[in-house]
Amino acid sequence: MSTQPFILHVNGNPNVPTILEVKVRPTPGTTQTELFKVPVGTKNCRVLEVQPDPQGTTLNGKVFQWFRIVLPDNREGWVRDDLVQITGDGRSYGYPLLPMSAYAFSITRTSNVNPVGTVTPGTPPSASTTTTAPATTPTTTPAATTAPAATTTPAAAPAATTAPTTAPAATTTPAAAPTTPSMGPVVPSPTAPTGTVLAVCIANRGANLRAAPVGGAIIAKVDYMTQLTVIGSSAQGGGTNYMWVNVRNAAGQTGFVRNSFLKIVGNATQWGLGAGDEYPAPMRAYWWVRGFGINFPANDANEVYHDGWDLGAVTGEPMLAGPRGGVVTQTNVCQKCTPDKPNTLAWGIPVGSDSVFNDPAWGYGYGNFVVIRYDNNLLPASTQQRLAQRSLSGAHVFVIYAHLANFTARNGQQLAGYEQFGTCGNTGNSEATHVHLEVRAGSNPNAQWAQLRPGLLEPGNLFSR
Ligand SMILES: [Zn+2]
């Protein structure tokens, strides 16, 4: 059961970061004049109703959906699903239960339902009427498999290889995105029945459910944000650190999905997966891009060793400190990252060039970055145990948050739990907006980032995806 409201954030289009304002209309459809505009970054709008586009307008074969929302200032109107993120219990509206916020257009609505009491489309909203709150008791189960996501590309590998879809547009740096405090951080869904471990698909193009690990036949498609039940796992081996998670979908089909495409919710240590006490990812809304190790597919000629995780997000997505706070030990403003050419791609320099990695003016490739130290006593119990197993008992953990659009963190600053210290960007050795999350351990609390290299850790030792 769940009492999470269905909430919408006006976050703009992740593929078009230059959009900084979104039109709110009196009824669904772009033929309507606008009521007013809201800035990208407006958060915590309550969803009243969802309707498909009245003209049946599509993108990549998928019909747009329109949301009737109430803004925090009580204004009301309709916005289209390619410009917003949604989170919470959407089951009364044909969406799944979304434990973390997700790009609405990437989710396939399973039916055109609305909570009892909502007004039919076409009725102009009156300023701040009282409306029926979404029914708290869900009427439908989160239909995982139904409607095959109309558009999308095959999934699985692609998501990892290509880096977040878009062009390098990141220039605009809407940066200091309106900082409505709001919203608790993303935390593991409280909805997993006791003893059940869930896996949520965080590959924004979906993933494949396979009959066997690695090259097994594809049984079904798993859409972004679909929830699966974990029933086991299998290590890929062969020098990789991949795990294949044995899961069951809502249709009762069982198979395997690679762990990098999944956020595990609950204690899955019995299967060699997360303990469930790890820090949440540092952003509320993100998608999976790339993991630790040699993570480009075997058929990619440019195999590169990758020292961290890459999580894609919308430019300006707030970057949050760990749940118990930490100390800023290092910051860098990238000298070569200009507003119109923030990254190597914009300069025509191939991604992954040694000249960049050796250049302090590029922040050694990290662009704008912040390093935060999490003292040993603030770490999850599972992280402390893993450090001890590696003869790093009592060590502190340092995290670099790289490629930021901007940051407010200052050297020596003590950050509170979940305190925002910057925003996600596309600076340095980067080709699309994402954070590179790299984790190193060391016992000297004053160590500089470069000195900590021997303590490099797979980020899953501290974070859950
Ligand atoms: Zn990276």
> DSSP letter at 339?
S
Q: Give me the CATH code for the 7-126 domain, please.
A: 2.30.30.40
pLDDT at 30 over 80: yes
Give the integer Cα–Cα distance in Å for 284 and 49.
23
Find the DSSP H helices in 280-407.
354-357, 381-389
Centre of ligand 1 from the C-alpha of residue 309, in Å: 6
The better pLDDT of the pair 117, 406 is held by 406
Centre of ligand 1 from the C-alpha of residue 403, in Å: 9
Give the DSSP H or E segment for 357: helix 354-357
* % pLDDT > 70, the chain: 80
CB-based contact 44:180 (threshold 8 Å): yes
Centre of ligand 1 from the C-alpha of residue 200, in Å: 22
CA quadruple 266, 105, 173, 403: dihedral, nearest 10: 40
Report the first-to-last Cα separation within the chain, whole angstroms.
Answer: 24
Residue 215: predicted pLDDT:
87
pLDDT bracket for residue 1 (50, 70, 90)? very low
Centre of ligand 1 from the C-alpha of residue 160, in Å: 11
Centre of ligand 1 from the C-alpha of residue 187, in Å: 23
pLDDT at 53 over 80: yes
Centre of ligand 1 from the C-alpha of residue 429, in Å: 9
Q: How many CB atoms lie within 10 A of CB 120?
A: 8
Q: Which residues contact 447 (CB under 8 A, 6 or more apart)?
A: 329, 398
Q: Is 139 exposed, middle or buried (0-12, 13-18, 19+ CB in 10 A)?
A: exposed
Residue 396 identity: H
The better pLDDT of the pair 443, 139 is held by 443
Q: Which residue has the tokens 């070569």?
A: 336
pLDDT bracket for residue 193 (50, 70, 90)? low
144-153 pLDDT, tens per residue?
333 333 333 3
CB-based contact 225:200 (threshold 8 Å): yes
Centre of ligand 1 from the C-alpha of residue 148, in Å: 31
Give the integer Cα–Cα distance in Å for 255 and 459.
26
What residues does CATH 2.30.30.40 cover in the chain? 7-126
310-321 pLDDT, tens per residue?
999 989 999 999
Give the integer Cα–Cα distance in Å for 193 and 249.
15
Give the integer Cα–Cα distance in Å for 456 and 292.
11
Residue 382 identity: S
Centre of ligand 1 from the C-alpha of residue 230, in Å: 28
Centre of ligand 1 from the C-alpha of residue 366, in Å: 9
Centre of ligand 1 from the C-alpha of residue 204, in Å: 17
Give CA 429 to chain center in angstroms. 20
Q: Which residues contact 292 (CB under 8 A, 6 or more apart)?
A: 241, 306, 307, 308, 309, 458, 459, 460
Strands 84-89 and 7-10: antiparallel
Centre of ligand 1 from the C-alpha of residue 362, in Å: 15
Predicted TM-score of the model (pTM) = 0.65
**Most confident segment among 8-22, 167-181, 207-221:** 207-221
Centre of ligand 1 from the C-alpha of residue 87, in Å: 26
Q: Give me the CATH code for the 279-465 domain, please.
A: 2.70.70.10
Specify whether the backbone of 182 is left (phi greater than 0), alpha (psi in -120 to 50) or beta: left
Query: Which residues are near ligand 1, the ion (C-beta closer than 5 Å)?
Result: 310, 436
Centre of ligand 1 from the C-alpha of residue 6, in Å: 32
User: What's the angle, vertex CA 32, arms to CA 31 and CA 35, rounded to 5?
Assistant: 150
CB-based contact 241:260 (threshold 8 Å): no
Give the DSSP H or E segment for 442: strand 434-442
Residue 249 identity: N
What residues does CATH 2.70.70.10 cover in the chain? 279-465
Centre of ligand 1 from the C-alpha of residue 52, in Å: 37
The number of C-alpha atoms within 13 Å of 10 and in the hemisphere containing its C-beta is 29
Centre of ligand 1 from the C-alpha of residue 409, in Å: 21
Centre of ligand 1 from the C-alpha of residue 107, in Å: 26
